């Protein structure tokens, strides 16, 4: 109930704002399947304070990149489970005119990293891999947001960082989802006094209605506001990170921080039934896998077989199985893997070859002599922005697990990621129990770890259609796939596309997870007859999505009821 009430408030904000500014009748009611509509511009994130920061930037004449940057900095204050300056991510930008571009601000392995760094003697140590100072990659967020702003922003940098700094310094009122989230993580922060100090009231969880102030974070943000990336990668902030590392067996140094560079990359592009798909290239596996799956599915009339039917579900699962197998075998940091077969994986010919291996009546079997993956959480976050010119940003960034490494940099007020856990742990050892040892994604100095984050934009005939993305670890790619299918093949509006039940198959384990009540008993029976092992789960992902309704020249956004979500526009 608390969550519903929260959503009600958020929806009301969105609707009131939209209606007040352009005289549009409110078109989204609490719990409605109608999207939230705005004539001019829209921001969707997982936190309404952050979405409102982005909205104000747009009202002040900023463009989509400005709003995305400001929203991302605000999320680092108001949504600390995934919003961050100590992590990394990806931003795909499609200007209304000109070529789309992708920004890669994924974390890198420190210079002291090695493929065997997660082993103690001959044994793999999961704690080192995921929950230690060695699990921290060199953060990319500040450099990435700055690079995107340098190339496409229009408002002053200071204007974009300042709202986050104010939220950190003045504080904001804690509401139910944040109170519950902070209370849940507190026991796991006990090894790190700076984290306990930052995220609790002298060791006691924040309660709903308390004001949450983060003065150290405000100081760090003021250095970033004044000095740009140098306020993070050099000077006091870098000193504090390096000191925390040196005192606790970490390997990240001043030199690693100074050497960090965000990268501009050419987006991964494909086509699907006449639509253009613009997504993130490697080091994300997302763009490659989404395009590979869409290419496979293009050979079937999904509209005719219907949303949620056994026939359609079977085909989607078989596409997922194949794309995730290729992802695991072939993908890693392109700067360290010169011969990744990306062009082949996204080709229509390859999709035809894959289709030839799909039996319409029988599930394939994922190779039993290979491997499965370790469990992942859901704690990443996605921001979708479209401005008045119809420039669009799709931004996904993360600390990896919720609250990352749980390590707050003392005196600097921000959490460090545990993204090194996305590298394969033990060279050469690949097991069914979850260890992957394939070469492309082993830790090496300066290397980026493979990611599933899939910020994606869809267009058609030169015009924006959709911005979408989600948290959810490896499920992200399938969540994004399904929102695209729901809009293109099944004609859903964006809210329906986000509401619709999701599926996840990742090659191994050889099972399909489906959301509670997502498939009817008779559909499940038909899938079982085909040989599918179906596993019911709670929820998958938290999409932030915007569709551009060109006929009415209106933006339509979805709030994902599975988690907190806030669409704000005017
Ligand atoms: O980059 C990735 O694919 C993951 N580190 C994202 C993490 C995520 O979504 C939440 N789960 N651990």
For 423-462, where are the E strands, in sequence order? 456-460
Interior/surface letters 164-198, b for 16+ CB within 10 angstroms, e for the rest: bbbbbbebbebbbbbbebbeebbeebeebebbbbb
Confidence check: pLDDT of 12 > 70: no
Q: How many CA atoms lie within 13 A of 476 on its CB side?
A: 33
Go through 420-451 and write b for each residue having 16 or more CB atoms within 10 A of its CB, e for each that does not.
Answer: bbbbbbbbeebeeeebbbbebbbbbebbbbbb
Which of 7-21, 394-408, 484-498 shows the lowest mean pLDDT across its residues? 7-21
Tally of CB atoms within 10 A around 78 = 26
| Best CA proximity match to 105, nearest among 248, 284, 273 | 284
Q: Which two tokens stand for residue 18?
A: 């939209």
pLDDT of residue 188: 97
User: How far is Cα 441 from Cα 263, in angstroms, rounded to an integer?
Assistant: 19
pLDDT above 80 (res 377): no
pLDDT tens per residue across span 267-316: 999 999 999 999 999 999 999 999 999 999 999 999 999 999 999 999 99
List the chain domain ranges: 2-264+383-424, 265-376+453-545
Looking from the CA of residue 476, the nearest atom of ligand 1 is 9
Residue 26 has pLDDT above 70, yes or no: no
Q: From the alpha carbon of 471, which atom of ligand 1 is closest? A: 9
| Cα dihedral 20, 24, 28, 30 in deg (nearest 10) | 30
Q: Where are the beta strands (DSSP E) in 438-496?
A: 456-460, 463-468
Verify cis geometry, omega within 30 degrees of 0, for the bond prior to 435: no
Q: What is the pLDDT of residue 22?
A: 36
C-alpha neighbours within 13 Å on the C-beta side of residue 17 = 24
> Could you say which of 313, 380, 396, 468 is catalytic?
380
Ligand 1 pocket check: which of 91, 398, 478 to mutate, most ligand atoms within 8 Å of Cβ? 398
265-376+453-545: what CATH class?
A: mainly alpha
For the entire predicted model, the pTM comes to 0.94
Q: Which atom of ligand 1 is nearest to the CA of 401?
A: 12
What token pair was written down for 278?
């613009």
- Report residues whose beta carbon is within 6 angstroms of any ligand 1 atom: 376-380, 398, 400-401, 419, 422, 451-453, 471-473, 476
Contacts of 193 (CB under 8 A, 6+ apart): 410
Number of helices (H), then strands (E), belonging to the chain: the values are: 20, 21
DSSP category for residue 386:
E
E strand or H helix that includes residue 548: strand 545-549
Write down the pLDDT at residue 430: 60
Question: Is 380 annotated as catalytic?
Answer: yes
């Amino acid at each position: 109930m608390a969550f519903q009430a929260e959503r009600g408030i958020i929806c009301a904000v969105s609707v009131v704002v939209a209606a007040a500014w352009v005289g549009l009748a409110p078109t989204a009611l609490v719990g409605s399947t109608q999207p939230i509509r705005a004539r001019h511009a829209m921001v969707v994130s997982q936190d309404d304070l952050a979405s409102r920061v982005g909205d104000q930037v747009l009202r002040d004449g900023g463009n989509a990149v400005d709003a995305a940057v400001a929203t991302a900095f605000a999320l680092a204050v108001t949504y600390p489970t995934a919003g961050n300056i100590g992590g990394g991510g990806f931003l795909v930008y499609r200007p209304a005119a000109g070529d789309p571009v992708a920004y890669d601000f994924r974390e890198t392995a420190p210079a002291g990293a090695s493929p065997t760094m997660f082993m103690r003697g001959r044994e793999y140590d999961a704690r080192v891999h995921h929950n230690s100072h060695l699990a921290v990659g060199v953060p990319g967020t500040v450099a990435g947001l700055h690079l995107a702003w340098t190339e496409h922003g229009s408002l002053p940098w200071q204007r974009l960082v300042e709202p986050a700094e104010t939220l950190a310094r003045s504080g904001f009122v804690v509401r139910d989802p944040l109170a519950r989230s902070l209370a849940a993580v507190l026991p796991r922060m006990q090894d790190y006094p700076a984290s306990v100090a930052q995220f609790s009231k002298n060791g006691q969880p924040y309660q709903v209605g308390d004001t949450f102030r983060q003065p150290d974070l405000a100081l760090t943000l003021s250095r970033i506001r004044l000095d740009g990336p140098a306020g993070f990668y050099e000077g006091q902030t870098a000193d504090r990170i390096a000191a925390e590392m040196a005192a606790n067996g970490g390997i990240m140094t001043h030199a690693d921080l100074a050497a960090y560079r965000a990268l501009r990359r050419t987006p991964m592009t494909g086509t699907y039934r006449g639509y253009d798909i613009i997504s993130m290239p490697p080091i994300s596996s997302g763009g490659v896998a989404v395009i590979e799956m869409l290419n496979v599915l293009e050979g079937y009339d999904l509209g005719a077989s219907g949303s949620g039917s056994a026939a359609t579900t079977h085909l989607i699962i078989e596409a997922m199985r194949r794309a995730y197998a290729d992802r695991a075998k072939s993908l890693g940091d392109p700067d360290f893997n010169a011969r990744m077969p990306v062009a082949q994986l996204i080709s229509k010919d390859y999709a035809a070859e894959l289709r030839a291996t799909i039996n319409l009546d029988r599930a394939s079997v994922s190779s039993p002599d290979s491997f499965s993956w370790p469990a992942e959480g859901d704690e990443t976050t996605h921001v979708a922005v479209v401005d008045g010119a119809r420039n669009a940003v799709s931004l996904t960034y993360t600390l990896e697990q919720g609250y990352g490494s749980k390590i707050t940099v003392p005196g600097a007020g921000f959490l460090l990621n545990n993204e090194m856990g996305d590298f394969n742990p033990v060279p050469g050892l690949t097991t069914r129990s979850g260890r992957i040892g394939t070469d492309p994604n082993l830790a090496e100095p300066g290397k980026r770890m493979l990611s599933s984050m899939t910020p994606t934009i869809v267009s058609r005939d030169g015009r924006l259609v959709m911005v979408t993305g989600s948290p959810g670890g490896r499920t992200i790619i399938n969540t994004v796939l399904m929102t695209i299918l729901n809009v293109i093949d099944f004609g859903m509006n964006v809210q329906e596309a986000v509401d619709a039940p999701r599926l996840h198959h990742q090659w191994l384990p050889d099972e399909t997870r489906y959301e509670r009540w997502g498939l009817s008993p008779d559909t499940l029976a038909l899938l079982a007859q085909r040989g599918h092992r179906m596993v019911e789960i709670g929820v998958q992902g938290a999409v932030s999505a915007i569709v551009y309704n060109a006929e009415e020249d209106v933006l339509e956004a979805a709030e994902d009821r599975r988690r907190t979500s806030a669409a704000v526009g005017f």
